[in-house]
Structure 1
Amino acid sequence: MTPRPAIRALLIDLSGTIHVATQPTPGSPQAIHRLRASSIPFRFCSNTSKESTAVLRSKLAEMGIETHDNEVWTSIGAVNSLLRDRGVERPFILASESAAEECRRDIHDNPVLPYDSVVVAFAPTQFDYVALNTAFRVLMNEHNTQRGRPLSNCPFIATHRSRYIGDSDGALSLGPGPFVAALENASGRTAEVVGKPQRKFFELVLSSLASDVQDREGVVAVIGDDVQNDLGGGAVELGFWRVLVRSGKYRDGDENNGGVRPPDEVCDNFASFVESLLNI
């Protein structure tokens, strides 16, 4: 394996890397503390869309995982930015209450207007026939709020396409990807993904690090437990040093699966990576 280059900044996945459900991965709170005391700037980059960014940070704090303002970047926050940019006025959102509120922030969401977009986050309690059929009808301009209105090609947005997640019992569970795929198959539309591994998402996070890394040499490293959704796509295109951890949803052989280039480095967990990074 190629020797690790100098690291100028670090992008860190959360679910499966820093914590699994409500438990931190071994040594991760201490590793974050050590990393914060070092000179290496970092950001947390999460596809977590089951709750708002604020709720996520609160849950991390309960696990002893410290985060600062502007450090946590999520796919839910990216959805909010995109909806504002598109001038959306009434999105139909499959998401938890807190996540939906963040998506709608700064959007009027006038109930008199027809639905004009569909957003699919990770919403296990809402992935039923009625909700998915409503999303389908909105995409097809068949919903009762749209009747008598001009046909429109409303945005179809997904936070991410993960096929599965690592669950609290240690087993894998369905992610939002299969439900996004079902809507794509039925409607003939292709969802616009805003979270990892999209290049735009990584570039948005990197922009927040610009002042911290301008005088540093080396490469940006990204670390996660999903070789496809954490380390694929934009992570490859932007030339990141890609680190896979054997925690969370990782299963034996994942480093050679996923249809993307194998990671540059594989570590047992986040804490072991930080240990090796800071002790070089």
Structure 2
Amino acid sequence: MSRPPIKGLLIDVDGVLHIDGQPIPGAVRALAALRARGIPFVLLTNTTIRTRRQLGHLLRELGFPVADDEIVTAGAATATYLRKHYPDEPCFLLVEGDVREEFAGIPLVEDDSATVVVFGGAGPAYTYDRLNQAFRLLLRGAHFVAMHRNLVWERRDGLALDAGAFLLGLEAAVGRSPHVVGKPSPDFFRAGLARLGLPPEQVAMIGDSLNADVLPAQALGMTGILVRTGRFRPQDLERGQPDVSLASIADLPGWLETVGKH
């Protein structure tokens, strides 16, 4: 049974469009080609070290034709989740980078008054003292929230540990798991679909992670396109299969044109 034509795209950012501020070869041209053909897209990213405004500015500096309202970040989605479920509760925020702009109106504290512990992307901010403070707050019963649970992320100098690696230890230590807002949460993908205004069967998700991008999208009825850049490693394919595998996003416009002819 043939699938409906692809009318919109959800596109991961890190490892798909750029790596640590360095564009993937051909990625800028690929997004420009999508724009020229009138194919709508939303950038659906677990990025937490930048706000949507900061990320939009960076991408435009790199040459990508994107607007801030075409970006859905795990950080912004987490702030929305906190406002809805824990309004006015003090939060202990552990994240690399300054994303306080996204958390406007949410009380952020550094002491034992926190009733919510929120984990974002990992980096030097993940010191022993701060991790231990988060651990003790969770032991006291603080709500446990994670922007995402990526185990690794790709930097120019290679793979680096991300929040998920630390969350595994904390889960074992406190005996419970966090509510995850970003990918692979189905609600995060649905937020991207809502922004596109399209049903899942008419949308393709493009990402460099089988577990975080492709498989969750396929579970919701989307076409899963894996690009072999960023975090991708050949052994990833032992855990599942994408609908489409491309060398990089540079090949996406050509693939879309081929599909459109059939």
| Fold match by TM threshold 0.5 | yes
Are the equivalent residues in 1 in contact too, given 2:225–2:242 (CA < 8 A)?
A: yes
Mapping for residues 1-280 of structure 1, pairs under 5 Å: 6-86=5-85, 87-102=87-102, 104-109=103-108, 114-141=113-140, 153-169=141-157, 171-210=158-197, 213=198, 219-233=202-216, 235-257=217-239, 261-279=240-258, 280=261
**Separation of aligned partners in 1, 2:111 and 2:134:** 18
CA contact (8 A) 2:95 2:126 kept: no
Choose 155-164 or 73-82, whichever is displaced more.
Answer: 155-164
Amino acid at match of 2:92: F
Whether the 8 Å contact between 2:201 and 2:223 is mirrored in structure 1 is: no
Distance 1:15 1:159, change over 3 A: same
Shift of 1:197: 1.5
Q: Which deviates more, 247-256 or 24-33?
A: 247-256
In structure 1, the residue corresponding to 2:68 is in which secondary structure? coil
The CA deviation string for residues 15-46 of structure 1, in whole angstroms up to 9 with x for no partner, is 00011111111111111111012132110000
Rate the CA distance shift 1:253–1:67 in 2: closer, same or farther, 3 A: same
Where 2:210 maps in the other structure, the secondary structure is: coil
Residue type at the aligned position of 1:193: V
**Structure 1: how far apart are the matches of 2:83 and 2:54?**
21
The alpha-carbon distance between structure 1 residues 218 and 111, as it changes in their structure 2 partners (threshold 3 A), is: closer
- Higher Rg of the two aligned structures: 1
- What displacement does 1:4 show? 7.0
> Contact 1:163–1:178 (CA<8 Å) still a contact in 2?
yes
Take 1:112 and 1:247, find their aligned partners in 2: how far apart are those partners? 41
Evaluate the alpha carbon distance shift between residue 4 and residue 29 of structure 1 in structure 2; reply closer, same or farther with a 3 A threshold.
Answer: farther
Identical aligned residues as a percent = 35
The amino acid that maps onto 1:155 is H
Specify the code of the residue in structure 1 equivalent to 2:36.
Answer: A
Instruction: Point out the structure with the larger helix share.
Output: 2
- The alignment covers a number of residue pairs equal to 258
Instruction: Return closer, same or farther for 1:177/1:262 CA change in 2, 3 Å cut-off.
Output: same
Question: 1: CA distance between counterparts of 2:74 and 2:149?
Answer: 11
TM-score for both structures, normalised by structure 2 = 0.91
Q: Give the CA deviation at 1:96.
A: 3.4
